[in-house]
């Protein structure tokens, strides 16, 4: 139960309109559970499967809403007033939820960590989707909330262009290789002419 509660704790500390709310955690017989806010809508990943790329105004709206959520997360303090240094560690299109009424929410804080927690396992170090990890995070080096912003930038780039910045093969051959330079993209094939 201790590990489960530790997994659930970061979500319980967050109350923001752009973050999926954790409503309850508990245990029924031998099964642990977490009750989360239900979001009627779809994930950014699902939207990108049918509408790729997204209009720049939509991407800007998503980025603004999630930027506010991450700013809130990064500024959280403990009950004693100490900075928690929360890091989501898994910002990616499937965890970006878009409600039918236009809300944008960041979900899945189950892999989030606060700097005040001691790491329990080596496997705990690298967590998140490979194509959305900051280089230092992928290498298992210390990282902070800037890794969330890096991942958000990668997700927004994908939403805007219809393509990932890094292919999985780029990550597999060596984390930190420079991405494709923007000037190598043909802007008119990605965005409509102004």
Number of residues that this document lists for the chain? 194
Radius of gyration, alpha carbons of the chain: 18
Active site residue 124: no
Where b means 16+ CB within 10 Å and e means fewer, 34-71 reads bebeebebebbbebbeeeebbeeebbeebbebbeebbe
Instruction: Using DSSP, state whether 169 is helix, strand or coil.
Output: helix
Instruction: Using DSSP, state whether 36 is helix, strand or coil.
Output: strand
Q: Which of 71, 90, 108, 144 is catalytic?
A: 90
Asked if 116 and 82 count as a contact pair (C-beta separation under 8 A), the reply is yes
Asked if 12 and 29 count as a contact pair (C-beta separation under 8 A), the reply is no
Instruction: Give me the active site residues, please.
Output: 90
């Amino acid at each position: 139960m201790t590990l489960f509660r530790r997994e659930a704790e970061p979500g319980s500390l967050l109350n923001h309109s752009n973050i999926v709310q954790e409503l309850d955690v508990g245990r029924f017989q031998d099964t642990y559970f977490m009750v989360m806010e239900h979001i009627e809508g779809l994930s950014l990943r699902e939207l990108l499967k049918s509408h790729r790329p997204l209009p720049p105004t939509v991407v800007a709206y998503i980025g603004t809403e999630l930027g506010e959520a991450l700013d809130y997360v990064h500024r959280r303090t403990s009950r004693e007033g100490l900075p928690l240094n929360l890091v989501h560690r898994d910002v990616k299109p499937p965890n970006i939820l878009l409600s039918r009424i236009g809300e944008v929410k960041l979900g899945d804080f189950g892999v989030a960590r606060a700097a005040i927690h001691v790491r329990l396992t080596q496997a705990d170090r690298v967590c998140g989707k490979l194509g959305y990890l900051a280089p230092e995070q992928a290498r298992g080096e210390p990282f902070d909330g800037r890794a969330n912003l890096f991942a958000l930038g990668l997700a927004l780039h994908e939403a805007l262009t219809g393509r990932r910045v890094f292919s999985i093969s780029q990550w597999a051959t060596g984390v930190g290789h420079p991405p494709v330079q923007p000037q190598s993209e043909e802007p008119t094939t990605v965005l409509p002419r102004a």
